[in-house]
Amino acid sequence: MTDDIEVPSSARRLMDRLGLGEPDGRDGVSLPGRNANFAVLTSSGRRVFLKQLHGSRRDAVRRFRRMCDFEQIAVAGGWPDGLSTPVCLGWDEDELTIAFEWLEGARSGHELAATEEFGNELANQAGRLVGMVHSLDPEQQPALETDPPRLPPLDFFDCLPLDYFARASGGCLEGWRMLQPDTALAAALCALRAEEAHAERTAAHCDLRLDQFFRQDGTLYLCDWEEFRMADPARDVGSFAGEWLYRAVLEIPSRELDPGIAEPGHLSHQEVVERGVRELDRLRTRTVAFCAGYRESRTAADPGLAARAAGFAGWHLIDRMFAGAEGRPRLTAVERAAAGIGRSAVLAPGKFASALGLEV
């Protein structure tokens, strides 16, 4: 930590109340994200991560309460052995500020995947962690939120809300121009949401991405509980599979070209498909290992979970298209390809479940 940062007074008051000491702004770092995130060394020698939630007050309060819900239900439920998540030190609900032990030197799952270090062993650990979350006893906290996550936003297929339209990038608007006439996709997503409504619900992360995992000293941690609630466990399983499916799509133009082909832009549709299939076959072992770990810590998955998870994996690719398009005027060819593959998974999730390695 080397940055000279200004820690907000609300965070200072929380640290004082928790007896953590004074933050040394000369030995800290401000971290990126939609919230105010700080990692600081305190006068008592503690390494502390502080998060103050931003956004509309109503939305920020709900996200903050979900984070607190996780901490309370996990502790009340006995905190299953092996459920590794950063230790929560305390929070201030009025200031929407929460403090954790800082995982100094930890590397995110996204970083590890980029360097080919997120292999099958880590994927297996990730599956065990998610299975433990899905096994938490919700009766310990009867007030746990039960509203399903808003995504995918089915109403956007009819019209975009004015506030979204006003702040959306050209790339995001292009994406919705592409999707809105797709009545088959809209119908399939409606069917997926209907199946979700009738599925069993468990405690679930609901925002599972590789960058929510961190490895420190050989231990894999699962973090960031802003979307935690009672929900269909297929969302988490599908999101993990979707992360690797998306990485397979990203690799299509960057792999060494076949002899006789000069540039990625000259690939035929068939060649793109073949490359994607090869890359998916290479990376699906991560999802297979994840599902094996998941079954170790949760053995009572319902028989329809794999197909629903494949549908949510498909939506994950479409969602990643929009995430990548934020702030840019146009969609890239890779983003369009990702959305197209995601569409296929949403339309035929039963066929995609095995191809993705979903064996839950």
pLDDT 10s digits, 7-35: 778 888 888 888 888 876 565 666 666 77
Is 316 found in the same domain as 194? yes
- Give pLDDT < 50 ranges for the chain: 1-3, 255-262, 264
The predicted structure's pLDDT at residue 253 = 63
On whether residue 350 sits in a domain, the answer given is yes
110 part of a folded domain: no
Provide the token pair at 99.
Answer: 């403090």
Helix axes 234-251, 349-356, angle to 10 degrees: 70
What is the per-residue pLDDT for 27? 58
Do 109 and 210 form a contact (C-beta atoms < 8 A)? yes
CA 253: distance to chain centroid? Answer: 24
Same domain (yes/no): 88, 151: no
Q: Do 188 and 80 belong together in one domain?
A: no
Q: Are residues 169 and 51 in the same domain?
A: no
- Report pLDDT for 77: 61
Q: What does the pLDDT read at residue 50?
A: 87
Which CA distances in Å does 171 have to 251, 298, 329, 336? 21, 40, 5, 11
pTM summary value = 0.88
Per the domain annotation, does 142 fall within a domain? Answer: no
pLDDT of amino acid 258: 45
> Does residue 267 lie within any of the structural domains?
yes
What 3-state class would DSSP assign to 39? Answer: strand
Q: Give me the number of domains the chain comprises.
A: 2
Q: How far apart are CA 268 and CA 256, in angstroms?
A: 15
Same domain, 164 and 290: yes
Q: Give the domain-ending residue among 101, 135, 162.
A: 101
Range of the domain at 304: 147-200+232-356
The answer for 46, left when phi > 0, alpha when psi is -120 to 50, beta otherwise, is beta
By CB atoms closer than 10 A (0-12, 13-18, 19+), residue 344 is middle
